[in-house]
Structures are given as C-alpha cells and as structure tokens.
Structure 1
Amino acid sequence: MNLRNPIPAPKDRSPLRLAAGVAYYRARRRLQWLTSGSDYASERSRELLPYVVFTHRTPLLRQLKDVDMQLQINKVTNLRLAAARIDGLLLRPGQTFSYWKTIGRPARSKGYLEGMVLHRGTVRSGIGGGLCQLSNLLYWMMLHTPVQITERCRHGYDVFPDAGRTQPFGTGATCFYNYLDLQAVNGTDALYQISLELSDTHLIGTWRSDRPAMHRYEIVEKKHWFTQELWGGYIRHNTICRNVWNPEGLLLEQQHLTDNHAIMMYDPSLPPEMP
C-alpha cells in the first residue's frame, strides 16, 4: 500500500461543474497570456537553421484495443493542421514557447476532425483529438535541449499496457485547450527552431539551432514501482532523471526531472506485450 503519499480516488463531477471549470481555467489562461509580460515566440522561418540538436519520430497509427481506427485516421489530419502552425517556429533568447498560444484553438471551422480524447482514463472522441501526440513529441525533444521547461502537465492515467515502448513511462506531456499547456523558455544565447513534418507513417520533429550543441542529454528512469491504494485502484510511479554529457563523453551531472504518478486503467499483472 502507498500509505505515505496516498493517491486520492477520482472524483465524479456533474457536467455543469465540468463546463464551469473549463470556462474558468480557459479565461484564466487568456488573462495570463495578456498580463504575464512574456515574449511569446511567434516568428516562423522556412529557412532551416544549420545545426540539428535532436530529432525524434513517432508512428501516426497504432492498433489500440477497443479504439475505433477512424479516430486515429482523423488524428493524422489534426496533427497536420497543428504541426503546420509550429513548423519553422523560431525561439529566440529570452522568448517563451507556448503550445496552445502557437496552435490556437482546434475547431471544426479550421478543419479539425473528431479524434481520440482521453477523459479520466477512458477513450472518447472530440474535435482536435490526438494532439497529445504532438505535445508528447515536443516535450521529449525539449528534454534533449538546454531550454527551461516551465510548464508541463503529466498524464494522470496510464490507459494502455506497454507495447513496443521506446522511451521511459512518464516522459510525455498531456494537453487540453488552452489551460493544459506546454511551455518552455529559451534562457540561452542560442537561437532555436522547431521543424515538424508528417510522412506517410510518422510524425517527425527536429530541434535546430544556429550553433552546435554544447551538451548531450540522456533521459533515464531511476525508479519504477506500483502500489495499490486503499480505495482499490492501482497506481504506477516512476522517477525520471537526465544525464548531461559534454562533447568528449564525460558525464557532467545527473538532474532530477520529475516524479510521475498515474492511475492504472488495466490489470498491472498483464504482460507488457498485450495490446
């Protein structure tokens, strides 16, 4: 039992309460954008910066148990629209990147389709669904750069068993317009650029710069464990750290990044290869 730091059971809230909460947090985010004084990155350039800092790709379609494949097909359209708003974005020294301020609200009038949305650990459909794949990819790329991540929302539910996982659990960033945001500040003196494209099979991201990278970053999982709470649910926990290496291959330091805690929506005794 996780008696030292118990995780509370999920709470059921009425539709009216949920709608009021969404309206409140969206208004608060708009106010923050207006009053924070941050210089939000908005300039995009078709000319690519010369140095690749990090690149990553994720598959566009996956076979998920009990999930309508059409939602994933629609997700590809949503990703193309959102990626086009970010592709080529320049992040100058001192500027802030905001995922939702850059993309804007995903609306049907802009061409967004019904895609897969996770709500309290269950799969639903919603306009613009599937954009977490893009925020996940951007967060993973940022972890391999010296920018300071100032806002990231972790996934509160572990919905599917691991199947072909290539990076540690808990290294994604959930998103929901506009208050579950991903933000980062360029506190360096380097110019950065985000390049995005969709191939027939993958979402591909590249983080570029006007100068060579001074460090190499390795994301590692230090601890990983499961607990059963007093209310009966299972929780998955882990700790994520980052090793920082210099160009000569010398380990400079290990940085603690985050602790993750997610309510499991499947039996923790399932073998990892099950869908």
Structure 2
Amino acid sequence: MGRIRVTQIFPWLLPLRRRQRIFCFYEKMRRDGNRYAKAKLDRALPYEVFSSTCPLYNAETGFDMRYQQNKVFNLKLAAARLEGVAIGPGETFSFWQLVRHADSVTPYKSALTELDGRLQTARGGGLCQLSNLLFWLFLHTPLTIVERHGHAKKDFPEPPSDAPLGVDATVYEGWLDLKVRNETAHAYQIALSFSAAEITGSVRCDAAPEVEIRVRNGNLSYCQRKDGIWEEVDVVRDCVERETGKVLVSRVLYRNRCRIGYPLPDGVPVLPDGRRSHA
C-alpha cells in the first residue's frame, strides 16, 4: 500500500499546505540567482520568429460549455501579464513569476483542470492552454528550455492545431512551471492577441533569425497497458537553412508519453507492448 499523506487523513489541512507550498515556490525563485524577465516593451520588436493560432473553445470535453467560456476569461487575465514581455540576454522566463498576480483585481473563474489525476473544475482552470502555446512558440527559438512538464493524461480530443503531438506544458502554481533561459545575445518578445474564437501567439526578436526552426514528430506509437492506452512520440527539432531549405541539424528533443482518456479514431493501431511504432 502506498504512503498516506497527512492531508489525506486531515483534508482540512490542504489549503494551508498549498499556501505553504506556494510561498516556498516563489521564495526559492527569489534566491536561485536567476534574473527573471519582467519588463514590457512599449513597441514590438522588429522580427517575427514564429506565430501560431489555435481555437479557444473545445466542444469535446464532455462538460458544460460555460467552463470553456470561463477558461477564455482566465486566459485573457493571464495573457495581459505576458503580452509584450521581453526576455533579454541572460534573463529567465517563468510563467508563474509573470502570471502570479493576474487575478489580484479580477478573480479567476471556475474552469476545467486536472487535479490528482482527475478532470474537474477549479478556480483558474484552463491556463495550460496558454502555457502550451508559449512552449510551442519557444521551441521555434534558440531559447533554452529550463523547465517543462508534459500532461500525464489527455482527457479529451484536442481541437485542430499546427502543433505536433507531445508539444504541451502543464503548469500548476507551487508545483509545476514553464521556464526558458535566454543564453543568446538577442532579446525575444512575447505577443498575444484574441479574436472571438481564437488565440494567437507570436515570438519576436530584435534580429532576423539566421535559421528556420521546424518541429515535428517521429516514432509515434500507441500501446495497451494495464492502466489504459498510452501514446508515445518523439518531438524532433530541425534547423533549416532559410535560402536553400537544407536541414543543418536535426535532434530529438524528448520522447513524450501520456495516457489517452478517450477512444482513439478507428484504424489507429494499438500495440500490446509499444515496441513497434508508426510515423
């Protein structure tokens, strides 16, 4: 039998434990020696490195659509803290350092989130769509990924996106952050905007990119395990010469693994052990 946490015996301790964890979370960052990006520029940097647009609403969650509306409300609160932020040379970007007080004036609403392995509603839910988008943008830059956590489970099908499988970054204040460090000589800037149905994010730079970065999948497989079907896929980054299209460097960044919580489309092979794969 697994170890029983004190908060499982005394659930009323959970809010206190969370406040303690969040305090230590930020105190550790205050003392870690990193210089965290905070400054917003009053103008856009001249060169767009990469841009992506994705739908705001997902009708496949199985929950009332009001939680999707609440998610969009939360995303806009958080995005207001990120829009225009520049990551200068030597600086580190932290999602939570910037979004920490996004709801200090206007509170977040209740939206979908995964807690303790279960999909449920909670205040401030849905912010992972923003961290997912930022991670996708950052992968197209030379910025160094310092901290990223993939979702352990996909609870419902994702809406159409230009991002390949396995490109996500879950965040949970006090526990999980998204961090990148700028080890280049150039500044990078985050830009975010909303239409009625979509969110658009872009990353800009003060110098024209020397190469084009493309991100793709490799070695995709689905395998049946005791606890369900698991998806495993490589996330690969290609550095491409802009003039010729020649691939200069190709590297597997990581292999992403997550459990699938919904029926796969007909015809998708599910293997008993995952030793084989299909692209």
TM-score of the two chains, using structure 1 as the length reference:
0.86
Identity between Structure 1 and Structure 2 (%) = 31
1:15-164 map, 5 Å: 16=10, 19=14, 22=18, 25-105=21-101, 107=103, 110-161=106-157, 164=160
Deviating more after overlay: 218-227 vs 180-189: 218-227
1:188 maps to 2:184 = yes
Once the 2 structures are TM-superposed, how far is the Cα of residue 116 of structure 1 from its aligned partner?
1.3
Label 1:25 to 1:227 Cα distance change in 2 as closer, same or farther (>3 A). Answer: farther
Corresponding residue for 1:168?
164
3-state SS of paired residue (1:129): coil
Corresponding residue for 1:245?
240
- Flag structure 1 segments of 5+ consecutive residues without an equivalent: 1-9
Distance (Å, rounded) in 2 between the aligned partners of 1:149 and 1:222: 20
Distance (Å, rounded) in 2 between the aligned partners of 1:15 and 1:132: 30
Distance (Å, rounded) in 1 between the aligned partners of 2:162 and 2:117: 22
Once the 2 structures are TM-superposed, how far is the Cα of residue 76 of structure 1 from its aligned partner?
1.2
CA-to-partner distance for each residue in 1:57-108, whole Å, 9 max, x for gaps?
Answer: 1111121242110011011111111000010101100000000000105657
Amino acid at match of 1:71: Y
Q: Is the 8 A contact 1:72 1:115 kept in 2?
A: yes
CA-to-partner distance for each residue in 1:33-66, whole Å, 9 max, x for gaps?
Answer: 1111100000001211111111111111121242
Amino acid at match of 2:232: H
Distance (Å, rounded) in 2 between the aligned partners of 1:235 and 1:21: 32
Once the 2 structures are TM-superposed, how far is the Cα of residue 166 of structure 1 from its aligned partner?
3.6
Q: Is the 8 A contact 2:92 2:181 kept in 1?
A: yes
Amino acid at match of 2:82: I
Q: Is the 8 A contact 2:136 2:163 kept in 1?
A: no
Amino acid at match of 1:190: H
Corresponding residue for 1:265?
261
3-state SS of paired residue (2:248): strand
Report the aligned-residue RMSD: 2.5
CA-to-partner distance for each residue in 1:147-191, whole Å, 9 max, x for gaps?
Answer: 001000100002124553542221011111132100000110011
Once the 2 structures are TM-superposed, how far is the Cα of residue 22 of structure 1 from its aligned partner?
4.3
Distance (Å, rounded) in 2 between the aligned partners of 1:163 and 1:78: 19
TM-score of the two chains, using structure 2 as the length reference:
0.85
Label 1:202 to 1:163 Cα distance change in 2 as closer, same or farther (>3 A). Answer: closer
- Flag structure 2 segments of 5+ consecutive residues without an equivalent: 269-279
3-state SS of paired residue (2:36): coil
Amino acid at match of 1:102: L
1:236 maps to 2:228 = no
Greater RCO, CA 8 A, separation 6+:
1
Once the 2 structures are TM-superposed, how far is the Cα of residue 264 of structure 1 from its aligned partner?
2.0
Deviating more after overlay: 200-209 vs 24-33: 24-33
Distance (Å, rounded) in 2 between the aligned partners of 1:169 and 1:149: 18
